[in-house]
Structures are given as C-alpha cells and as structure tokens.
A and B are shown apart, each in its own frame.
Chain A
C-alpha cells in the first residue's frame, strides 16, 4: 500500500495540494480525476520522486521501481522507437521482445526504422506507453496516457495496458470516467483549487 498523508505542495505563493490524503491499493488501479490545475500531475510527480512535499508524508514508495508515461511523450527524438524503449530496459531483454510489443500496439516495421521525431503523435504515444509498461517496475504512473488517440488506437492501448500491467500498482490520471471504469479503478476526485 502506498499512502499520502497530509501532503502539502506549494509553488511560490500557489498551494497546489493542501493536507492531501491518498491510498493506492497494492496491485490495484487508482484513477485520479479532476479539473486542470487541481494537482493531479503534482501527485504523480511526488509518487515518481521528481518532487518532494513541503509538508506531510508519503509511505510505501521507498525502494520501489517506478515507470511512467507522462502527459508529453518525452522520447529521445533522434532515436528509433526500439532504442527509446530499450534505453530503460535491462540488458537481458532482447530487441525481438520489444519489437513484438511495439508491433502489438500497431507500430509496423517501417515505423520502427524511423527516428521517433518522424512518427505521428499517436505512434509516439504508443512508444511512450510500451516503454512504461515494459520497464521493470512495480509502480506504474500513467498521466493522461490516451489523450489525443482515436477510438481504435485507444482501445488497442487500453487492452495492452491492462494485459501488461499484470497486477502491478497503477496510478491513472484521466479526465474520462469511462477509462477509469474500464480499468475497474478506484476513483479519487480532486476538487478544483479555490
């Protein structure tokens, strides 16, 4: 179980989180929903260890291996999809396994030969999600992972995430209640900031 207790986070004069509590069930999916600016991404960054709370505490994340698909694709533009995914994997994961996963989410051989800067937005999203799900991690954070995808692409990727998650703890940030329901997620609604 990962717990946030009384977490406060400020950026200058702005209080983004004020005494915030959250429980992430071990092996379950928690969906964070709420309007823009309510602190969803800040919570993700706290869980990923990219920022620290000004007050309060986070328990159960020490020593955890983490993986994420950020709101932006955050890929090395000059590298191919294969190289981007392999960058975060252990040496013993063969290239063929990565190719198979990328192929499974609709990236054909021609796309795999190109640097990711030459791929479409949807294709880059697929690479970012495969990278997050193939990484050896026990906490997976997905920040609006299906944003901007067409219906078919979204269905393929949601099925991929569900299959690949394999019992790992997952935080899903989304604006779409249907996505949260599809994953059977425990939904946490954040209030708009006053």
Chain B
C-alpha cells in the first residue's frame, strides 16, 4: 500500500510546485497551471485532428526506432562475424553517436527525403545504441556454452534461441530502454525544426508562435505518454520473447 501511494505523493508534490509557480507568474499564457493544461488536453483528445497528429508522429518515430533496432541487431551480428565489417562500421556509428542531432536534421532537410525527417532522425539516433549494445552482448556470450555447441555440433538454428539470444537479450533490452526515449526526443525536435506538416512537432511550434503554454504542456504530456507507452509495449514484447525462449525445446 505504502509503495503504491509513494509515487502518487511524488506526483502530487510536483503538481503543487507547478501550481504555485503558475500562481507566482500570474499569466496563463506564459505558464499555464496544471488544471489549465489538463483542460486543454481534454479539448484536444476528442478531436480527429489530435489522433491524426499523434498517428503521424507515432508512425515515423516508432518506425525509425523499429527499423534502427532491426538494422542494429543485424549489423552487430555482421560485425561479430567479420572483422572488416566491424573495422569499417563501428567508427562510423561512433561518429554518428557524437554528432549533434541538429546537424543531421539540417542535412536531411537539404535532401529529397526531408518528408521522412522524423523517421530518419530517430533511426540515426537509435542505430548506434542498438548496434553497440548488441555487439557488446554478442561478445559477452558464455564461451563455455559456445564450446558445448561446438563439441555437440548443435546447429545454429537451435543454438541461437538457447545460447546466443538469451545472452544478448539483456543488452538489447537496455538499448531499447535508452533508444525509445531518445527516438521520441530527437524525432520531435526534428519535427519542430523541420516543421513537419501534421506532426506533434508542428503543434509545439504553433504553441510557441501563439504563446500558448497550455498547448505546449498538453502536447508535451502527450509525448511523454506516447514515449512511456511505447517503451512499455516494446519491453512487454521482449519479456514475452524471453519467456518463450526459456521454454526451450521441451516437446
């Protein structure tokens, strides 16, 4: 009971701080109160435009994350098998990781793929994390179990779910936890800078132009909820996969 109440108390505390700050500022335009933001959210949710906007960003940012995860896993597998691939790709991905996101945003805006800006940016931000983590996982596989597979000539198709994937999965899950948040932050930033039509980023930009902090806070709450929900969904799917692997070849 105490455990369940504690997070609610923390939320209530910070809402109270926000409310006090809003009262101190005294202008709903500059700093909306929690109630004001909630009311604006209540106005937005029933509209078709709201769901269209959410869908627009979800498809691109979520898509970028999923494609980056798949490419990152395949790339890491290739790097573990080929030193040449590793030597060529690993430094390139390290460079992507160190490059400011805004450089990529501007670069993509200059290219004919600017319509897919949020997709490309979330892809580029997630790819190095997935690649690096999964490669680390592959390198941390239990050598003694790999030797067992060699001695008994266990085929790759059976070795992977029993030895390789269980070793790599915790590293992949860690990359997903970081990657989801990063995909949303960078994707939305890209939408704001690139003014992607019909996106959440565009709504945030409009909030700035119209000096509507109610819209800013309402859409920010939507982004947080989407990022949180997306992360929970991804992790639930991975946990399910983990349980299926643990069943092994029992029948």
Q: Which residues of A come within 8 Å of B, CB atoms?
A: 48-50, 65-68, 70, 72, 74, 76, 78-80, 82-84, 86-88, 95, 115, 131, 135, 137
Q: Are B250's CB and A48's CB within 8 A?
A: no
Q: List 13 A-B contacts (CB under 8 A).
A: A49-B151, A67-B151, A76-B163, A76-B166, A78-B166, A78-B246, A79-B246, A79-B248, A83-B162, A86-B249, A87-B248, A115-B246, A135-B152
Q: CB within 8 A of A74: which of B145, B154, B162, B251?
A: B145
**Chain B residue total in the interface (Cβ 8 A):** 20
Tell me the dominant secondary structure on chain B's binding face. helix
Q: CB within 8 A of A83: which of B148, B150, B249?
A: B249
Q: Are A49's CB and B150's CB within 8 A?
A: yes
Shortest distance in angstroms between A126's beta carbon and chain B's nearest beta carbon?
16
Across the A-B interface, give the 8 residue pairs with the lowest CB-CB distance, nearest first.
A83-B248, A88-B152, A79-B248, A78-B246, A86-B249, A74-B148, A74-B144, A48-B151
Q: Are A79's CB and B162's CB within 8 A?
A: yes
- State which residues 196-251 of B face A: CB under 8 Å: 245-251
State whether A87 and B158 are in contact (beta carbons under 8 Å apart), knowing that A76-B145, A76-B248 are contacts in the complex. yes
User: Which residues on the A side are within 8 Å of B145 (C-beta)?
Assistant: 74, 76
Chain B residue with Cβ nearest A76: B162
User: Which residues on the A side are within 8 Å of B248 (C-beta)?
Assistant: 76, 78-80, 82-84, 86-87
Q: Which residues of B come within 8 Å of A, CB atoms?
A: 144-145, 147-148, 150-154, 158, 162-163, 166, 245-251
Shortest distance in angstroms between B135's beta carbon and chain A's nearest beta carbon?
22
Q: Are B144's CB and A72's CB within 8 A?
A: yes
Shortest distance in angstroms between B161's beta carbon and chain A's nearest beta carbon?
9
User: Which residues on the A side are within 8 Å of B250 (C-beta)?
Assistant: 80, 82-83, 86, 95
User: Which residues on the A side are within 8 Å of B158 (C-beta)?
Assistant: 87
State whether A68 and B151 are in contact (beta carbons under 8 Å apart), knowing that A76-B162, A79-B162, A87-B158 are contacts in the complex. yes
Q: CB within 8 A of B147: which of A74, A76, A80, A95?
A: A74
Q: How far is the CA of A79 from the CA of B247 in the complex (A)?
A: 6
Q: How far is the CA of A82 from the CA of B248 in the complex (A)?
A: 9
User: Which residues on the A side are within 8 Å of B152 (C-beta)?
Assistant: 66-67, 87-88, 131, 135, 137
Q: CB within 8 A of A87: which of B162, B245, B246?
A: B162
Q: Are A78's CB and B249's CB within 8 A?
A: no
User: Which residues on the A side are within 8 Å of B245 (C-beta)?
Assistant: 78
Q: How far is the CA of A65 from the CA of B152 in the complex (A)?
A: 8
